[in-house]
Structure 1
C-alpha cells in the first residue's frame, strides 16, 4: 500500500503554466471557430441561392424582355375548364383547368455551339396583380393530358431553333386558382435571375 498523503504534501493538480502558455491559442480558437462556421454557412447558402430561381425580373404582360440572349414576349393565354368540350376532349380531371400560355421567343445571341437558350417554365398563382406567390405548377407538356401543340409552335425551348418561334406551355391547375398568374422562364446560365411574366387568365364562369 502507498503511503498516505499528509497535509504537508502537495496534491498533484494541473499546472497553471499550461493555461498561461496556451492562452493565446485558446482565445484565437474561441474567436475563429464561430467565424469559420459562419464562412462555411455563407458559402453553402450562397451556392444554394445561386442555383435556384430567387431573383425575378418582373415583366408586364404587354412588354418584351431581353433575357439570356433572346427576346421574350407573351402572345396569348387560354384557360380551358374540365367540363368544356375542349377540356373533355383533352381528358382533364374534374376540378381542373388547363392554362395554355404562348410566348414568342426571338433568339439573338447563340452559344458557342450555335444553339439558342434552353429553358424551364413554371406558372405561379399570385395574391393579386403583382402580389406574392401562392402556388406554383410545373409544365404539363409531358403529362397524360391529351393536348396537341399548335403546328407552328414548340412545346419546349428548342435549342436547335435559331430563328423566332412560338413556345406553347401548358399547365394543369386547380379550377379554384385565381386569375392573376405569372409565367416563370428559367435559363440555367442566368440563375438566380429569371423572367416573371404577368399573365391574366380568369377562371371559367
Structure 2
C-alpha cells in the first residue's frame, strides 16, 4: 500500500512562520544600555572638571568664615579685623560718577606666624597674602571691587589694598568702593587669603 505524500503548507502559512526581524530598540539594546551607563558618568566628569577648574586648588574661595563676636578672624597665622566702615563725606577732588557714594573700609591685619616652613632663610620668610577686599550686597549678592586711582585717590604704601606678605607687624588694609546712591545695605566685606579655599566675611550694616 502506497502512503500518500502529505500536502505541503500553503504559501501564506509558510510566510507567517518566517521569523520577523527584531525591532530597532531590540537591535540596539546593548548600545543603548552602554549609553545609559556612560552618559551620566561623562556628565558627572564634565561637571567636576568645570568645578575643579574654577574652584579647585584654592582657585576660588568657597567657604565663608564669619568674624567672631570681637569682629576678628584668625586664618593662616594672621588675625584679620576688626574693621571700620563708613561713607566719605568730603569727596572734593574725586572723580565720582553722578549718583554714587564712596564707601570706605579699613581692615586691621596682624600677622603673627609666617606661612613659610621652619628653617627658611630669614630673608625668605613670608606671611599671609590676600587679594583686595570685595564689598557684597547681602540681599542680592551684587559685588564691588575697590577703586582708587580711577577716582583720583593717590596710592599710599601706608594704606595698602592687599596683604603685605613681608610685613612682620600689624598694618591696615584701606579700600574704597564706588556704590550707587540707591543701593542699600546691609553688606558683607569679603577678604580672601590667597590659596586657602576659604574667605573671611565681615558684616557691614550700611
- TM-score between the two structures when normalised by the length of structure 2: 0.70
Shift of 1:115: 1.6
Shift of 1:57: 1.9
Q: 2:142 aligns with which of 135, 138, 143?
A: 135
Determine whether 1:87 maps to 2:91.
yes
More strand by share: 1
The corresponding residue for 1:109 is 113
The corresponding residue for 1:194 is 199
Determine whether 1:122 maps to 2:127.
no
Distance 1:64 1:137, change over 3 A: same
Q: 2:184 aligns with which of 178, 181, 191?
A: 178
The corresponding residue for 1:12 is none
- In structure 1, list runs of 5 or more residues that go unmatched: 1-6, 9-14, 128-132
Shift of 1:100: 1.0
Question: Which structure: larger Rg?
Answer: 2
What is the root-mean-square deviation of aligned Cα atoms in Å? 3.3
The corresponding residue for 1:78 is 86
> How many residue pairs were aligned?
179
Q: Distance in 2 between matches of 1:177 and 1:114?
A: 42
Query: Does the CA-based 8 Å contact 2:95-2:152 persist in structure 1?
Result: yes
Residues 34-45 of structure 1 aligned to structure 2 (within 5 Å): 34-45=39-50
Query: Does the CA-based 8 Å contact 1:124-1:183 persist in structure 2?
Result: yes
Determine whether 1:166 maps to 2:175.
no
- TM-score between the two structures when normalised by the length of structure 1: 0.71
1:79-128: per-residue Cα shift (whole Å, max 9, x none)? Answer: 02xxx5x212223222111111111001123232422222221101123x
The corresponding residue for 1:59 is 67
Q: Distance in 2 between matches of 1:74 and 1:65?
A: 8
1:180-201: per-residue Cα shift (whole Å, max 9, x none)? Answer: 111111123112x211101133
